[in-house]
Amino acid sequence: MMIKATDIVVGTGKTAVKGALIVTEYTGYLMDGTVFDASAYRGRPFECVIGTGRVIKGWDLGVLGFDEAGVGIAPMQVGGKRELIVPAHLAYGDRAVGKIPPNAPLRFEITLLEVRTRDD
């Protein structure tokens, strides 16, 4: 299984690029629909540097616009909302993490709120 990215809303703002700090709202689901995590649980958006291995590989690829074979899809832009279906090997693999069982594919809904680069 390869990563699958579907735009729910196509953003029109700044484009996510490798090494940028991104600010997102997200919800993570197991494939049966169980929510395992959400930025709303913490009461604030989630921030991370994208494309540098700080998040699961499926996020790096899906936000920046590449599938695991390096084939281009559109990178996310601010204001966009994307559904990612991430195969287990691009998520947590054979490790159990919190509510996530081993070898679990995951589904995320990610809304890109902001992109900050060194040029900002």
Among residues 3, 37, 60, 85, the one annotated as catalytic is: 37
Catalytic residue among 3, 60, 108, 110: 108
Tokens of 47: 């921030």
Residue in 3, 22, 60, 92 annotated catalytic: 92
Task: Clarify whether 26 is annotated catalytic.
Answer: yes
Residues 6+ apart with CB under 8 A from 44: none
Q: Which of 7, 36, 46, 73 is catalytic?
A: 36
Cβ 115 vs Cβ 24: under 8 Å: no
Residues 26, 66, 85, 100: which is the catalytic one?
Answer: 26
Catalytic residue of the set 56, 85, 100, 110: 56
Residue 120, CA atoms < 13 Å, CB-side half-sphere: 9
Is 66 tagged catalytic?
Answer: no
- The answer to whether 92 is a known catalytic residue is yes
Pairing, β 106-116 against β 35-38: unpaired
Would you call 67 a catalytic residue per the annotation? no
Q: Identify any residues that bridge with 46 across adjacent strands, giving them in sequence order.
A: 24
What residues act catalytically? 26, 36-37, 56, 92, 108
